A and B are shown apart, each in its own frame.
Chain A
Amino acid sequence: MKYYLEKIIEKIIMLIAFSAISILIIITFFIFKEGCPFLFKNGILNFILSPAWDPSTKEFGIFTMILGSLWVTVGALIFGVPLGISCAIYLAEFADKTIRGVLKPMIELLAGIPSVVYGFIGVMILAPIIRTYLGGPGFSILAAAIILGIMILPTVISISMDSIMALPRTYKEGSIALGATRWQTVKMVLLPAARSGILAGVILGMGRAIGETMAVIMITGNAIKIPFTPLDSVRTMTSNIALEMGYAIGDHRAALFATAVMLFVFIMILNTMVIFVVKRKN
């Protein structure tokens, strides 16, 4: 009797274990079910490459928003990645145990601050500064890039730091024994060896930047136009969905789900890249 109970519970645990993948499948199914008919009806290329988005005249092209997402994401990487990796190197190689013990939870705290609060800080501090000193509306790619750059720091730092610290001690000891300085060791031994882990951190940070919604809505200005300079206002794919979903019906709603399909496909490509990059290391 006890034996059977044990077997039944084992089966239940096995079923539970497939919950995450089942949820992923259900999410994929429902997003695609809502978005794909529209994509096939209107043509994917037409949807991606047309710069005109005007629900009142039934023009649905997300070209400007794709550009917006790209600008903002690349900007975030430019601000976040060098700072994040340098910070990770400091924590992994130069900081002693006590300092690391204090700084690491603080950096994790940075990840806990709500994205709406980041957006608010962008609105209250960053946008006015940019407007006054650099011109333009202030609500711009630059403001979003700086805020998102800060937001991806925890991701980039913790993953890079873990991958540097996971390296065998002998790498470092060998390099120091050969007379290399700490900086030479970092540059020539540790960074190349931890390359794939750091790359995974950067890709995950990129995913976070491209998927971020609330902070971006608040600070990019949301203008539907092709951006030319970092001081221009843009609308990203995510903010377009969040801004218009509340009142969208019919084709308009389907077009927003189609935008989500595009975003979803892009994120899945990034996720698969991470798995591939990490696997090559092992």
Chain B
Amino acid sequence: MNVRSKDKIARFAFLLAAMVTILILVLIIFYVLFNGLRVVTFEFLTSPIKEMGKEGGIFPTIISSIYLALLSIIIATPLAVGTAVFLTEYTRENVATKIIRFGANCLAGIPSIIFGLFGFVFFVIYLRFGWSILSGSLTLACMILPTIIRTSEEAIKSVSYTYKEVTYALGGTKLQGIYKIVLPKALPGILTGIILGMGRAIEETAVLIFTAGLSIHIPTSVFSSGRSMAVHFYTLAREGISIEKAFGTAAVLVISILIINSISYFIMYRFMRKYT
């Protein structure tokens, strides 16, 4: 076989691999939406869970998921952005930054089941928060911290140095430069990280089973238990309570993830176009 036909075959094989990957994605989404969208009605979205999920809707789980996602990003964002500011603005590469990066990288690699166990012994039992939205959100915050650190750091780094020079030239301090110039300029990039973190909070199951509990009621405070959409879906599918309702919940989950990813991609796209 000559060189040219080998080249053609290789190109075709790579194209095929890419097509197969996209096909898998499309099939998964199509399968879930095709079977699930029939179930998703306004009533399904707004009624309480009845008979452990066999009847009724998923309203409480939507509320729990929103609470968990919002609270976890409220906790994680200041920590992550602070870390990113320190890494980019206040220090050069040294032992401290190596330790900080090592921490963030390792945290990113820890499986969610270990976060779940940790949240269970630390927040639920040791700090006595019980199975609650608070325990769940704190554990999720630990988990999404590295994601937000990484995107924020990239975003802050991409802000041109001349902006800072102008601030200093006008007599501004370093801190003023950061919160008046650098952070606003880096905001779209930081937002992308936050939204991706939210996505992870919404899809997470293993962490929340151990920390937020399985209550089917709408959580009334941060100390009450609440099951998220993903946990509810898992219970429905695993215990075979109702495959129909499981498909409905899966469709809602997948649509939420689609929306979240589109928003983050849209913000990122505009940010990139502005700066590169």
Q: Cβ of B110 < 8 Å from any Cβ of A?
A: yes
Q: Cβ of B132 < 8 Å from any Cβ of A?
A: no
Complex CA–CA separation, A184 to B8 (angstroms): 11
Q: B142 is contacted by which of A23, A105, A245 (Cβ under 8 Å)? A: A23
> Which residues from A are CB-within-8-Å of B10?
182-183, 186-187
> Which residues from B are CB-within-8-Å of A65?
none
A89 to B, closest residue via Cβ: B14
How many A residues are at the interface, by size bracket? Answer: 35 or more
Q: Cβ of B92 < 8 Å from any Cβ of A?
A: no
Are B90's CB and A13's CB within 8 A? yes
Complex CA–CA separation, A146 to B189 (angstroms): 34
The 6 nearest A-B residue pairs measured at CB: A211-B111, A21-B103, A16-B82, A86-B17, A17-B86, A114-B203
Instruction: Tell me which residues from 101 to 117 in chain B have a Cβ below 8 Å from any Cβ of chain A.
Output: 102-107, 109-117
Return the CB mask of B27-68 against A: 1 if under 8 Å, else 0.
011011000000000000000000000000000000000000
A83 to B, closest residue via Cβ: B17
> Which residues from B are CB-within-8-Å of A31?
114, 117-118, 121
Complex CA–CA separation, A89 to B143 (angstroms): 30
Are B14's CB and A94's CB within 8 A? yes
Return the CB mask of B5-25 against A: 1 if under 8 Å, else 0.
011001101111110111011
Are B3's CB and A184's CB within 8 A? yes
Are A214's CB and B205's CB within 8 A? yes
Complex CA–CA separation, A91 to B3 (angstroms): 22
Instruction: Tell me which residues from 209 to 257 in chain A have a Cβ below 8 Å from any Cβ of chain B.
Output: 210-214, 217-218, 238, 241-242, 245, 257
Are A112's CB and B13's CB within 8 A? no
Are B109's CB and A17's CB within 8 A? no
> Which residues from B are CB-within-8-Å of A22?
103
Q: Cβ of A113 < 8 Å from any Cβ of B?
A: yes
Q: A183 is contacted by which of B6, B113, B265 (Cβ under 8 Å)? A: B6
Are A116's CB and B237's CB within 8 A? yes
Using A6-B175, A217-B238 as known contacts, say yes or no to A274 and B257 having CB atoms under 8 A apart.
Answer: no
Write 15 A-B pairs (CB below 8 A) sorted by A numbering: A10-B175, A23-B145, A27-B114, A30-B118, A94-B11, A116-B237, A119-B237, A181-B4, A184-B3, A207-B111, A210-B111, A245-B210, A260-B113, A263-B111, A267-B114
> Which residues from A are CB-within-8-Å of B29?
113
> Which residues from B are CB-within-8-Å of A268?
106
